[in-house]
Each structure stands twice: as structure tokens, then as C-alpha cells.
Structure 1
Amino acid sequence: MVPDSFDIGMDVSFLDEIESEGGRFYGEDGAEADALELLRRGGTNAIRLRIWNDPPGGYCNLERTLEMAKRIKAHGFRFLLDFHYSDRWADPAHQHKPKAWEKLDYEELKEAVREYTYRVLVMLAAQGTPPDAVQIGNEITPGMLWDDGKVDGEFDTDEQWAKLAGLASAGVAAAREAIPEAEVMIHIDRGGDWASSERFFTRFERLGVDYDGIGLSYYPWWHGTLADLRETLHGLAARFGKPIYVVETAYPWTLAKRDGHAFIVTGEEQLHEGYEATLAGQARYWRDVAEIVRRMPGGLGAGIYWWEPAWIPSKPDWSVGHPNNWSNLTLFDWDGKELPALKAIRPVAAAPEAASESL
């Protein structure tokens, strides 16, 4: 299925926490404005939120997701909801069960996934803010809900893959029932690794997991070059024929140190060749990655999302399990003023028909 639109997206899952701690945002003219409005002016047409089951501190829970969904829809954005199925980060190094699910057996766990997914989505729909797309799991290359759904290392067995497929399918079925028109996405982290990506989605294909779109994370310091990204995208398009999104990416606008913050990207060796850690380099990176996705074979490039563009250092101690190590990878500076990259993607967003390569 060829997508009928292209997402220029932002993951702003921390936004309400940043605002509640005093964070403020400003346009290029220096005037204070709602961060969502600034994103909209810059060409953003889609917003992604993560949801944690019962997180320490309360942010990214169901209550706050319901409130953020109202704001997202009020601005006219497409809405992608990302289920982590955890009380905290779910990623290749962490796929821990919610505390309330820790003692469930496998069949009970599947039912918990189904019931929770359905309940969240029905509540969003009931207030008039249904997600347009739903992610079943976050960066689940090594599985999810460990150890029941773990598939890496010694857990890389046919039995474990069948369990992972069963858990994912429970979430898919709930999404289909709750919001039949919503797109269902499966998300892994290997944006620059064609072999691993092909292996993962081939497993899901053989196990009959029913989903609509493929989501990838791509950060060059972890996932390789833009050439690696292009190879992976083209390979997945040709092999599976599904819409493909880069649902996470980012790039630094500075390598300058900031007291009290230990950044993830701190050195020249972490940068992609040809893209300096400057305002101009960041803007060029964003525009070029978007072009690669948009020009995918068969028109299957469906969108691209910047991860946490507004995670500015609004408080000195991000102590709830997530210190702010990202604020040189944002689209706002440390004082909340928008950076040039925020609007650099507007030509890509405005292009009525991007030329795509043949399959």
C-alpha cells in the first residue's frame, strides 16, 4: 500500500513535563509561543507520543496522554501513539514488564497486552482524539516484555519468536478492534542494518503478525551512515512492500559542554561525515534524511520523526530515570528559542509529489 501523505513528525513526549517545570519556547522573532504551534509553523504535520503503563513521576501515563492528545488534535496534527508496554524506557537494552504484569504467565500476559491496548485506545477515541497510527512496542528488535518475549542471545529460538509474535499480535488485534481505521506499526531500531531488519520482519511475516507499516530508528552514531540507511529502506521496500517510517532520528546543533549535563553526542568522531555539529549542519542533516525517506522506491517512504526536539534543560535534575542528555540534539536551543533546522524541512513537506525511485 502506497501512503497518501508524508509525515513530517516530532516526538514531544516530554513536552508537558518540560512546560510544568518552567520550560518556555520562542520563535525566531523572540516571541513566546506554544511549542506545538512553533512546530506546526515549521512544517510539522504529525506528533508522536510514547505511553508508559505506570511510570515513576506520572508523566507519559494514560492521564497525561489523554490531555496531550487533545492539544495534538486541536492543532490539526496526525497522531502516532507509541506503546512501550513498560513503566519506563523500552529499547534494545531495556524491555522490562510493567510492575503490575511481572507475575503473569504467558497467556495472562497476552491478555494484559490486549486489554491495556484496547482500553487506552477506546478512551482516546471516546474523547474525540483517536490515534491515526499505533506502534505495538518500541524498538523491539530484541523482543519485548522480557523474558517472555525476548528473542536475542540465548533466547533466539523458534519458541521465543512465537511468543513475541503472540504478544505483538495481541496488541495488534486490540488496536484493530478499538480503532479499525488506525494504521498499525511495528518498530525496530536498526535503521542502518539491512540484514538485521530483513531478518526481523521475515520472522514476523512467517509467524503471521498482521501490521501495516514498518518503523525504524536511525541515529548515525549508533546505526551507520546515510548510505546504510538508504540500503535498509530500499531493501525493506522491495522485500515487504509496506509503508516505512523513520520514527526516530536527531542530530546535534552543538558539541559545546553544558554544566550539569552529560550529553550522548560529545565528540567529532560521533558525527556523520559532511555534517558538522552546527546550526547549518543540523539543518542539512534533517533535510537530507527526509529526502532519502521521501524518495524511497515505490513511493513507500511514509514519514520521518525527530525524537524529542523540545527536550530543553528546563530543570537541573531530571531524576526520574531519565537525565537530560539530549539537549544538544533538540530543535530549540537551551533557552527554548527555535533553531533553523525546525523550518529546514518545509520544502520537503511542501513538495506535492516527491520523485521516488523504482522498485
Structure 2
Amino acid sequence: MKNPKFNVLLYALTCVLLAGCATKQTAIKSQNKSFAKGADVSWLPQMEASGYKFYNDNGVEEDCLKILKDHSMNTIRLRTWVNPSNDRASGHCSKDETVQMALRAKKAGMRVMIDFHYSDSWADPGKQKKPAAWEGHDFKQLLEDVYSYTFDVMSALKAAGVEPEWVQVGNETPGGMIYPEGSTANWPQLAQLINKGYDAIKAVSKNSKVILHVDQGNNNERFRNWFDHAKANGAKYDVIGLSYYPYWLEGNPDYTLSINDLGNNLLDMASRYGKEVMVVEVGGEDNKAQNIYDMLTAVQEKVRAVPDGKGLGVLYWEPEGARSWSKYGLSAWGDDGKPTKALKAFISK
């Protein structure tokens, strides 16, 4: 005869184990849902307008966003410029175009990140030219320019039903933004400009997380110097954004020579400043698909390894921007109009 007490204990233990498994599965699903895997696709409307066709892995013509979603991407990043030209590669991305594309991404079930360049065209480590309409303005007026412009774009997004999950104040700003007034040569002024952007974002969308973004994500000294100054000068933000492009590092080294530096920098940024971290730009040569697949796999692993869920995600910069259209060699799209194997790295992680 079986011991009744044993049966009760066995039943209780089984319930605990099943509950534990269910909790673990729920946690895994929650983590997978919250981890951002995505792409900056700001060229997409111009590509479509020019007649470029996108094909899925099976060679069937399909909407680009659906192809990205089928590669487990859940986030779309969009740059926005103040008064851009109509140049197909270095223009567009106006307020209205940004709102339209953000709404399209939302309707596709994607999360949205907005990237304010505070320029009429590209802003990056090599150039941070202020918008032409802001030329000649004194610093007090520039502060108002940043606030009113940011508030206007954010309000237009909200009116369309889009409240971005993340918003960048500046794009790749190791030397600052809105030159010369916002250069890192004058950190007190740069911090004030950053804070005007931050305040405008929060005034419209208090739950949007504000990102400050620096390039060379493997360079810890670069990041410590920049964010130490940001802290000392009272710059406000929620997330540290990193770019990681081994291709652009001196000597064009393979990613395996810098990936651990990226991982260590992610850990240090989260610990040193108590902030969440995110690789908001990554990319590699389109003709080295297997190598870039391996790199993307490794980058995701490094971001996921940041403790306490502070590693938010990984975004590829213009994966759809095929070289045949953009002349850009770091996309993840082939001459056949299909994504390369590199993008499958987002499916496997």
C-alpha cells in the first residue's frame, strides 16, 4: 500500500516543478519579446519610389517590412532631418516623411525609434552641420530651435498615433552636435542643447526613452571620456547608444579582434553609469554574408549578456539598402533583391 503522505508530497513537488517551468518559459518569452532586433530603413521609401523591388528568401516579391519581420526583426529606426533636399540617398527624411514611415512601421506591428540628426542631411563623427534655417542664431535661440523643432516632430508623431519607444538626441556625436556651438569643446553648451531635446521629447511622450549615441562601440576610453563629461555637465538621457562597425576601424580588422572589447564596453557603460545600453547601428560588408552572420550573432550575445536586462537590443543600419541602389557596401541585401544570409542571425538568436 502506498503511503498517502508520499503521494501528497509527490503531487506538491510536481506542481512546483511545473510552475517553475511555466515561469521560466514565460520569462524567456518576455525576454525575447522585449529584446529589440531591428533596422534603420530610412532609405526604404525612396527605394520603393524609384521602383526597387524586394524579394523574400524564396524569391517572391514582398513588402520589405514583412521580410524583415520574417527575419525576427521587431524594431524600425528612422532618421529625421530638418529641411532636407530631394536627393534620393542624402535627402528626404523630413518630418512628414518620418511620420508617414513611423505610422507604417507601427501598423506592421513594429516598435519605433526616431533619430534626430539636428541637420538638413547627414550628421556623424565627420560632420555635424547645423540646419541652414538655424544659421546666424545666437546660442539662446539655438536652444529654442532644438526644443521647438523636437517638440513639433514628436507632436506630429503622437497626433498620428505613434509614440516612439526610443528617441535619439543627436546621431553619432563623439565631437558633439550642431557645430560649432554644440561641440565637445564647449560641454556646458552641448549639455544644454541635449537637455532641450530631452525635455521636448518627454513633454510630448514621457515614456519614450532618450538615447545619446556615440560611434566605435568597442572603444571604452572614447565612451568613458564622453559620458563622464555628459554626467559632469548634467546631460539628461536614459540609454547609451553605440555604433559597431569593424569595417570602419583602422585597418578594417575582422570583428573577432574587437568583439570582446564591445562586450566589455557594454558591461562597463551599464555598470559605470547605471544606464541601459543598445547597439543602435551595426553593419558589415554585403559580400561577406557568413562573416557578418557570425558577427551579428556575437553582437547579440554580447548585448544579451549585460546584467539585469540592461542590454536592450541590436539594430542593423540600412540592411535593405542594396549596393546596386545606394552604392553602400555594408547592407545585407544581395544583387538578386533578396536579403543575404547575414540577416538570418536575427532569427537564430
Q: Number of aligned pairs?
A: 307
Q: Which of 276, 292, 299 is residue 282 of structure 1 equivalent to?
A: 292
Partner residue in 1 for 2:231 = 205
Superposed CA deviations along residues 83-105 of structure 1, whole A, max 9, x for unmatched, are 00000110011000000001110
What is the DSSP-based 3-state SS (H/G/I as helix, E as strand, rest coil) of the residue aligned with 2:149? Answer: helix
Q: Does 1:10 align with 2:10?
A: no
Q: Does 1:128 align with 2:138?
A: no
Q: Does 1:226 align with 2:259?
A: yes
Q: Runs of 5+ in structure 1 lacking a partner?
A: 255-276, 316-323, 349-359
Partner residue in 1 for 2:270 = 237
Q: Answer yes or no: is the 8 Å Cα contact 1:79–1:132 preserved in 2.
A: yes
Q: Which amino acid aligns with 1:346?
A: I
Q: Which of 216, 221, 224 is residue 195 of structure 1 equivalent to?
A: 221
Shift of 1:27: 0.7
Partner residue in 2 for 1:333 = 334
Q: Which amino acid aligns with 2:293?
A: A
Partner residue in 1 for 2:13 = none
Alpha-carbon distance in 1 for matches of 2:57, 2:194: 43
Partner residue in 1 for 2:284 = 251
What is the DSSP-based 3-state SS (H/G/I as helix, E as strand, rest coil) of the residue aligned with 2:34? Answer: coil
Superposed CA deviations along residues 212-267 of structure 1, whole A, max 9, x for unmatched, are 1010111013347112211211211110121100101111131xxxxxxxxxxxxx
Alpha-carbon distance in 2 for matches of 1:63, 1:170: 22
Q: Which amino acid aligns with 2:205?
A: I
Partner residue in 1 for 2:28 = none
Shift of 1:314: 5.6
The percentage of counterpart residues that share the same residue type is: 39
Q: Which amino acid aligns with 1:30?
A: G
Q: Does 1:298 align with 2:327?
A: no
Structure having the higher Rg:
2
Q: Answer yes or no: is the 8 Å Cα contact 1:253–1:281 preserved in 2.
A: no
Q: Does 1:35 align with 2:64?
A: yes
- 1:102-113 paired onto structure 2 within 5 Å: 102-113=135-146
What is the DSSP-based 3-state SS (H/G/I as helix, E as strand, rest coil) of the residue aligned with 1:144? Answer: coil
Which TM-score applies when normalising by structure 1? 0.83
Alpha-carbon distance in 2 for matches of 1:183, 1:53: 21
Partner residue in 1 for 2:112 = 79
Shift of 1:313: 4.3
Give the ranges of 4+ consecutive aligned residues of structure 1 lying more than 3 Å apart after TM superposition: none
Alpha-carbon distance in 2 for matches of 1:33, 1:331: 16
Alpha-carbon distance in 1 for matches of 2:290, 2:138: 52
Q: Answer yes or no: is the 8 Å Cα contact 1:96–1:146 preserved in 2.
A: yes
Q: Does 1:56 align with 2:85?
A: yes
Partner residue in 1 for 2:22 = none
Q: Which of 138, 161, 165 is residue 191 of structure 2 equivalent to?
A: 165
Higher RCO, Cα 8 Å, sep 6+: 1
Alpha-carbon distance in 2 for matches of 1:304, 1:142: 23
Alpha-carbon distance in 2 for matches of 1:325, 1:200: 32
Q: Answer yes or no: is the 8 Å Cα contact 1:10–1:47 preserved in 2.
A: yes
Q: Which amino acid aligns with 1:199?
A: N
Considering only aligned residues, what root-mean-square deviation do their CA atoms show, in Å? 1.5
Name the structure where helix makes up a greater proportion of residues.
2
Superposed CA deviations along residues 262-286 of structure 1, whole A, max 9, x for unmatched, are xxxxxxxxxxxxxxx2x32221111
Q: Answer yes or no: is the 8 Å Cα contact 1:140–1:188 preserved in 2.
A: yes
Partner residue in 2 for 1:185 = 211
Partner residue in 1 for 2:343 = 342
Shift of 1:190: 2.8
Q: Answer yes or no: is the 8 Å Cα contact 2:194–2:236 preserved in 1.
A: no
Q: Which amino acid aligns with 1:306?
A: Y
Superposed CA deviations along residues 177-207 of structure 1, whole A, max 9, x for unmatched, are 0111111111111301101101111111121
